[in-house]
Amino acid sequence: MVLTPDELALFDYGLSLEENPRSACVAAMKFIQDRRGWVDDEAMAWLAKKLDMNLSDLESVATFYSLVFRKPVGKHVILMCDSVSCWIMGCESVGDHLRRRLGIDLGQTTPDRRFTWLTIPCLGACDMAPAMMVDEILCGPLTPELIDKILDACEEADSS
């Protein structure tokens, strides 16, 4: 079962407010992700039926939106911008610091499943370049010191 009966009732209510169920496809995938951490194949097939969509069309939407996770992610998701402004302002060197600090490469999750590091196109925060989003919070301009502070805060929050 993709959703519990309570979750399904809430999902169906949300869907009933839509004139065209397909227009809710991003919100529907986020609904699952908010409860399961990511959207697996079973959930995608279920959603496609529910939204009266072709599965490959739904997959295309999921691929387009960087914030829909089709693989398991860590507790904290770090989305580092690698677009022009952030690149000019040194995202590569702060990325090197993140790589050293976490011991993983882009696209990977730490062995303790605490952090996942992904890239994202422009976050719309070019004035904060180089910028990243951690758990949907915008952070920048990034320095090695700021990255350490952010990761320390995540680790502290996890242990309290």
By CB under 6 A, residue 67 contacts ligand FES? no
Q: Do 102 and 154 form a contact (C-beta atoms < 8 A)?
A: no
Alpha helices in 21-134 (DSSP H): 25-36, 41-50, 55-64, 84-88, 91-102
Question: Taking contact as CB under 6 A, which single stretch among the options 57-65, 104-112, 123-131, 142-150 is the one that binds ligand FES?
Answer: 123-131
Which among 57, 138, 137, 5 is positioned nearest to 29, based on CA atoms? 57
131 vs 154, which CB is nearer to ligand FES?
131
Judged by CB under 6 A, which of 29, 47, 53, 129 binds ligand FES?
Answer: 129
By CB under 6 A, residue 131 contacts ligand FES? yes
Question: Taking contact as CB under 6 A, which single stretch among the options 24-32, 41-49, 61-69, 81-89 is the one that binds ligand FES?
Answer: 81-89
Residue type, 37: G
Please tell me the distance from the alpha carbon of residue 10 to that of residue 28, in angstroms, as a whole number: 11
Judged by CB under 6 A, which of 51, 123, 134, 151 binds ligand FES?
Answer: 123
Q: Give the tokens for residue 12.
A: 């169906």
By CB under 6 A, residue 32 contacts ligand FES? no
By CB under 6 A, residue 122 contacts ligand FES? yes
